[in-house]
A and B are shown apart, each in its own frame.
Chain A
Amino acid sequence: MNRIELISLLPVLVLASGIMVLMLQTASRRSEHLSRWICLLTLILSLAAQLWHYPDAAQPITRLLAFEPVGAFFGILVLVAGVSVTLIQGPYAAKQREPAEEFYLLLLCSCLGALLLTLASHVGTVILSLELMSLPFLAMMAYNRQRTDALEAAFKYLILSGAASSLLLMGFALLYVTGGTLELAHILPEQPGLLARAGLVLVMAALAFKLSLVPLHIWTADVYQGANLSATLLLTSVSKAAAFALLIKLMLATPPVFARDLYLMLSLMAIASMLLGNWLALLQNSIKRLMAYSAIAHMGYALVAAIVATQSGHRLVVEGAAYYLLAYLIASILIFGILALLSDLGADADKDDIHDVKGLFWQHPWLAVGLSLAFLSLAGMPITVGFIGKFYLLTLAVKSELWWLIAAMLLGSAVGLYYYLRVIFSLYAEGKKGETAVTGNHTSRGWLGLMAAVLLLLGILPGLLGDRLGLLLLSS
């Protein structure tokens, strides 16, 4: 391992040493405040390292990792999500009774796993980092042990994600039997037999579980609803971004013989996710459940980019996928962040019912405006970043002439508009009397304000990032 490799690994190394510092700090003297700042500092330093040394070409680091532009971009998304969770966790968990320091430890471990997953170029790294990412989620979901829903959610996630991991292992094993290599770039053999196809299906099923795509989406709503807001935000941002990075990498390395099978399979999954996700979200009263079904639908949209990637190495594929996930991430951070400002981890449940936020505008106008912006962005309204993301995907789909997918996308978006607007209308309705308590310090509010500003800015001036994004991602 030479100097350049070490510098390329700097974000990972910073995160790993941050974890150790945090462990020693917790061991010597417990202080929630100090832990939060160490965690924040680690994530920001890691983010800075990632931005400072952005790769301009794919560069292997040993046989296990590869430092390349696409993964690095998703790595940035992961770290931004980590910073957001750290900032909202402080005020959100101020009144709970569990020791607060370990949450940051688990958060850093999970971010480390996700970051490694974006760097992975070998099956060994994929399995290891996927587990490192998922296992801390369980503890974070059930952080308040008094909530029975949270325990149920963690248990469901434990069993189902264990099943998904075993599918992944079996799939990779079958691919290894036929191909004889464990490197991701060559794992799909050029001459596929039935075994290799079966392996690919299993691997896709495991990824579909992580991305909550339709045949394997059933866990999503219950887990989102039961888990606390910070864990839900992590699940919807960190886990999805990292799993999607892996999916895109696999898709870009697909040999042409697999393209037709994959196209059929992924298209069906995408169409089903878009329609079913939006349809099931229609009647939800809990915003967390609504976000769960909306996550299913949004991952269906994002899958369109992956489908195009199997068809042709189109220039816009990676850019579109990255932009879409960025838009989704910003909106999720805003929604869960604002809900966390209204809720308290120590309470029996989060304030996520649609009636809890009724008339929020008349009490806390800025929070309501932030929530509305985020929901409008998810619905894909113009002047928000969500519109640009959807525009990218539609352009891609039209260029590749995937008419069925376009039809499902339009139909899904139209249905989606209804339930997003339902929440927004309720925000501005005549609310119940009495002040809704709001926690939160200047840092967390400032961060959410920044996210809202970015959401608008990138919606109005998409070229600001879009032009550079193309250069960043495609230079390989």
Chain B
Amino acid sequence: MALAWAELWPILLYFLFTLTLLAGVMLLSSVLGPKNKGHSTDLPYESGILSYGGARVRFGNHFFLYAIFFVIFDMEVLFLFAWAISLKESGWMGFIEALVFILVLLVALVYLWRIGALRVKAEERS
């Protein structure tokens, strides 16, 4: 038990600090904050605009696809940066490996293009 204590006291201290901080912030804001009760107090806050309609709306997700593609290809360019820095050190072996990597990306791009994932207008998609 003494051993566990010796190992774990920083974590426990951190935990206690966090707890005190959070409790303190909440306590302070409830003590110091104004307590007005109007008819719009319980409405959801939407930057000053009155909310209307239900929250369950359907929306097109094709921009979501672009975000995903951007993240994927962007991440993969990062790997190429790492290779570019050590171009000379990694030699021909590294060159071939990077080539294979780019080829895989290219195949993925061709696939996405051909299945119509890159078309902007929804009606153009097959």
Contacts and interface: CB of A to CB of B under 8 A. Distances in A.
Interface in B2-44: 3-4, 7-8
B107 interface: yes
B8 A23 contact: no
A443 interface: no
B7 A1 contact: no
A23 B111 contact: yes
A194 interface: yes
Contacts of A23: 107-108, 110-111
Interface in A1-50: 1, 20, 23-24, 26-28
Contacts, number: 27
B8 A28 contact: no
Nearest to A99: B115
Nearest to A101: B115
A26 B107 contact: no
Which of B4, B93, B110, B111 has the largest number of chain A CB atoms within 10 A?
B111
A455 B78 CA distance: 50
A193 to B, nearest CB: 6
B7 A27 contact: no
B3 A27 contact: no
A57 interface: no
Nearest to A28: B114
Nearest to A23: B111
Contacts of B3: 193-194
B4 A26 contact: no
A471 interface: no
Given A1-B93, A20-B104, A193-B3, A27 B114 contact: yes
Chain B binding surface SS class: helix
A194 B7 contact: yes
Contact of B7 (A24, A26, A28, A195): A195
Contacts of B7: 193-195
B110 A24 contact: yes
Contacts of B113: 27
B68 to A, nearest CB: 13
A6 to B, nearest CB: 11
Interface string B92-122: 0100000000011001101101110000000
A319 B71 CA distance: 44
Interface string A347-369: 00000000000000000000000
A1 B93 CA distance: 8
A23 B114 CA distance: 10
Contact of A26 (B8, B93, B103, B111): B111
Contacts of A27: 110-111, 113-115
B5 to A, nearest CB: 10
Interface residues of A, number: 10
B107 A20 contact: yes
A24 B107 CA distance: 7
Contacts of B93: 1
Interface in B45-82: none
Nearest to A178: B7
Contacts of B107: 20, 23-24
Contacts of B104: 20
Contacts of B103: 20
Which of B7, B103, B113, B115 has the largest number of chain A CB atoms within 10 A?
B115
Contacts of B114: 26-28
Nearest to A26: B111
A323 B3 CA distance: 43
Contacts of A194: 3-4, 7-8
Contacts of A1: 93
A26 B110 contact: no
B65 to A, nearest CB: 15
A175 to B, nearest CB: 14
A135 B86 CA distance: 32
A1 B90 CA distance: 12
Contacts of B4: 194
Nearest to A198: B8
A1 B110 CA distance: 29
A113 to B, nearest CB: 15
B93 to A, nearest CB: 7
Contacts of A195: 7
A195 B115 CA distance: 49
Nearest to A22: B111
A24 B111 contact: yes
Contacts of B8: 194
5 contacts: A20-B104, A26-B114, A27-B111, A27-B113, A193-B7
Interface of A: 1, 20, 23-24, 26-28, 193-195
Interface of B: 3-4, 7-8, 93, 103-104, 107-108, 110-111, 113-115
Given A27-B115, A193-B3, A194-B3, 6 more contacts: A20-B104, A20-B107, A26-B114, A26-B115, A27-B111, A194-B4
Top-7 shortest CB links A-B? A27-B114, A23-B111, A27-B111, A194-B4, A20-B107, A27-B110, A23-B107
